[in-house]
Amino acid sequence: MTRFAMNGKVYLVGAGPGDPELITVKGIKLLKEAQVVVYDRLISPELLKYVNPSAELYYAGKAPGRHSLNQEEINELLIQKAREGKMVVRLKGGDPFVFGRGGEEALALTRAGIPFEVVPGVTSAVAVPAYAGIPVTHRRIASTFTVVTGNETENKEEREVDWEKIARVGGTIVILMGLSNLPFIKGELLKYLPATTPVAVIYRGTTPSQKIVTGTLEDIVEKVLAAGIKHPAVIVVGDVVKLQGELGWYSPSALTE
């Protein structure tokens, strides 16, 4: 097939939270058609089986000890491949516009004159609690949920997360990227919420290695340390966590990979 020299297109595709079956139908269709795929660390490796063997595959994640691209380089790569006239899929964990810098990539593309489309994904902010048996809302328990980044430390000069406001909303708080900062977050929330407020920390939710630790604002840090929970994890704060015992439906150990 001959192609005219013209701009390609970039699809920012949500890969879902981990379980490879939680990608959208549209996402799979585009993965199969892509000539270039640029993927992140948190996506299920199983999704790469849909990629055409002749497609160019680039890893853009940040894994310790492995060369990874910085954000500038990722933007450049997407622009360059689209300028070669290629159909590019940028495969991102969860939903492309929920953290993970999808908005920045879209801006870089549009400013470079590259057409793009966004294919929303199932975000870990909702799906990871769901697989742990925690509904983020419940008619009598929580009528809001707030999704917040936990990666701002006490040392950050201009803090954008106002924990007081978030605590005062009164519903469920879902914290992404917060595990290593949990002691600080706990300290902030304890200023405004009771020590008995239920908390769940879910590691690698929706995958066979899913682990759940539940506790309270008071004891969650110790419990997480004792359980050896690592990144990536979603932290859920609020009374909906109490439903986990009754609603925990997913048993990863029963699955064989």
Catalytic site includes residue 95: no
* Of 121, 138, 161, the residue nearest 18 (C-alpha): 121
Does residue 128 touch ligand SAH according to CB under 6 A?
yes
Closest residue to ligand SAH using C-beta atoms: 94
- Residue 238 in contact with ligand SAH, rule: CB under 6 A: no
Binding mask 165-204 for ligand SAH (x = CB under 6 A): -----------xx------------------------x-x
Say if CB 115 and CB 37 are below 8 A apart: no
Q: Which of 86, 92, 95, 177 is catalytic?
A: 177
* Catalytic entry in 19, 40, 92, 95: 40
φ/ψ of 31, rounded to 5, equals -60, -40
The rounded Cα 96 to chain-centroid distance in angstroms is 8
Decide if residue 205 touches ligand SAH (CB under 6 A).
yes
Tokens in use for 95? Answer: 């939903």
Is 220 strand, coil or helix? helix
95 binds ligand SAH (CB under 6 A): yes
- Does 17 contact ligand SAH by CB under 6 A? yes
Q: How far lies 232's CA from each of 40, 127, 146, 189, 205, in Å?
A: 13, 14, 19, 21, 9
Residue whose C-alpha is closest to residue 79's, from 41, 26, 120, 38: 38
Name the residues annotated as catalytic. Answer: 40, 62, 177
Which residues contact ligand SAH by CB under 6 A?
A: 17-18, 42, 92-95, 98-100, 123-125, 128, 176-177, 202, 204-207, 231-234
